[in-house]
């Protein structure tokens, strides 16, 4: 497929005559074309990262070591303790085979000298880790973050900021995290932010569902008021509240988040506020929750309220859900196979692209699967909802494809 034939394919999709099977076949063609064009434009650094990622995925022990190192190396309160953890991981996993010869040698030397000179070696290791992850984890310091946000905005890309550091151990930390999010909303260069309820409220108890929802609502009011107070000035001079998106983590939080979201946005103070919520396709319950949200959103708009947004993802906490289920002897909450997850993703995608739903619910398709993205691109054309469906990709991951 050539560049010039892509608009022709979009125009053909808009005629609305393709069956789902035909649309899927065309999505394969479109994905192939985008893959070839994006690969041709890859920069040297992106190629090296892609090659290293491929080697890591074929090195199970190396992948496990890297995840464990990234998770633990920033935690110790002293370089000496960090050196002990580093040695423990090296002994357990070995030096990753996917690294280059120079990096493998450097890691061996680090392991040899970190015990003798932890104050010198461990800062070097943490600095290298920060450097390696800098393309996907942005620095929160204003002097570094703001220029990046402005560059992205200039390129026509809207940035959704997610403050990292999810797990909280008490209400003191929850209030601190909540204030961090509010402070970010006051920043003129931030107009869109995502937050999980588990990051701003520590006392989540499913056996006290009503009480928990009410307490979550108190936190949401703080966020929504900050979004309204710090509205963005548009080119025409009008002002629009900043966008707050409720993210998802554990299955436990799904119904709590959705219920608190709906109840708070039905309050008079927030009826005109546009806000969003995430649904994870790997949870069977998400399909039913999507239908409930769409029905509620229609009711809200018909009462004079604003639309909402649903962002569709596949889910990113499968390992945690498996561990949680195995510890309690439960069946895991997510689907058991990738085929089931993919099927539910397509089902929810079709439902979100139905014109009667898109009228009330803006739909965000979040994925790095090129076929899924291309399928959604053609589906929204076929259904005539292009302006109601947008695409979201993680910063630093396959930027050439984005």
pLDDT, tens digit, for every residue of 291-332? 999 999 999 999 999 999 999 999 988 988 999 999 999 999
In 134-253, alpha helices (H): 142-154, 171-186, 197-200, 209-229
Q: Which residue, 291, 284, 311, 312, is CA-closest to 356?
A: 291
Structure confidence at residue 3 (pLDDT)? 62
Q: How many Å apart are CA 368 and CA 357, to the nearest integer? A: 24
Residue 38 token pair: 């994006």
Q: Which residues of the chain fall below pLDDT 70?
A: 1-4, 74, 129-146, 148-149, 159-161, 163-167, 396
Give SS3 for 62. Answer: helix
Residue 86 token pair: 């580093």
Residue 179 token pair: 């204030």
Instruction: Give tens-digit pLDDT for 199-236.
Output: 899 999 889 999 999 999 999 999 999 999 999 888 88
Beta bridge partners of 244: 193
**Residue 318 host element (H or E):** helix 318-328
Q: What Rg value do the Cα atoms of the chain yield, rounded?
A: 23
Residue 121 token pair: 């070696």
CA atoms within a 13 Å half-sphere pointing along the CA-CB vector of 167: 3
CA 66: distance to chain centroid?
A: 21
Model pTM score:
0.84
| Domains, the chain | 45-133 (no CATH), 142-392 (3.20.20.220)
Beta bridge partners of 279: 312
Beta strands in 212-332, from DSSP E residues, in sequence order: 232-233, 239-240, 243-246, 275-280, 308-313
């Amino acid at each position: 497929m050539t560049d010039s034939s892509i608009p022709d394919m979009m125009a053909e999709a808009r005629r609305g005559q393709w069956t789902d099977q035909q649309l899927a076949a065309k999505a394969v063609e479109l994905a192939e074309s985008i893959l070839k064009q994006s690969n041709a434009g890859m920069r040297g650094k992106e190629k090296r990262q892609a090659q290293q990622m491929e080697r890591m995925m074929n090195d199970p022990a190396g992948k496990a070591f890297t995840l464990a190192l990234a998770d633990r190396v920033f935690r110790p309160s002293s370089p000496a303790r960090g050196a002990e953890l580093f040695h423990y991981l090296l002994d357990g996993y070995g030096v990753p085979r996917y690294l280059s010869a120079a990096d493998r040698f450097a890691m061996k030397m680090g392991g040899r000298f970190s015990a003798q000179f932890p104050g010198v070696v461990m800062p070097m290791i943490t600095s290298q880790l920060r450097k390696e992850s800098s393309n996907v984890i942005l620095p929160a310091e204003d002097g570094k973050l703001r220029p990046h946000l402005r560059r992205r905005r200039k390129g026509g890309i809207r940035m959704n900021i997610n403050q990292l550091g999810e797990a909280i151990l008490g209400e003191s930390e929850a209030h601190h995290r909540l204030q961090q999010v509010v402070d970010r909303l006051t920043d003129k260069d931030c107009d869109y932010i995502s937050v999980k309820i588990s990051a701003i409220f520590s006392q989540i108890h499913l056996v006290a569902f009503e009480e928990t929802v009410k307490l979550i609502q108190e936190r949401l009011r703080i966020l929504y008021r900050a979004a309204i107070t710090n509205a963005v000035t548009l080119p025409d001079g009008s002002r629009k509240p900043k966008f707050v998106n409720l993210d998802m983590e554990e299955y436990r939080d799904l119904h709590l988040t959705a219920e608190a979201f709906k109840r708070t946005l039905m309050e008079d103070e927030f009826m005109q506020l546009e806000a969003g919520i995430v649904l994870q396709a790997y949870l069977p319950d998400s399909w039913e929750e999507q239908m409930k949200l769409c029905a509620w959103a229609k009711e809200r708009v018909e009462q004079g309220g604003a639309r909402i947004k649903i962002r569709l993802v596949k889910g990113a906490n499968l390992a945690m859900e498996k561990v949680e289920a195995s510890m309690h002897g439960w069946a895991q909450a997510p689907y058991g196979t990738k085929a089931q997850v993919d099927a539910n993703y397509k089902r929810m995608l079709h439902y979100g692209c139905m014109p009667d739903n898109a009228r009330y619910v803006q739909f965000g398709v979040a994925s790095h699967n090129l076929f899924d993205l291309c399928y959604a691109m053609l589906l929204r054309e076929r259904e005539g909802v292009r302006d109601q469906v947008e695409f979201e990709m993680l910063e630093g991951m396959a930027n050439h494809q984005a």
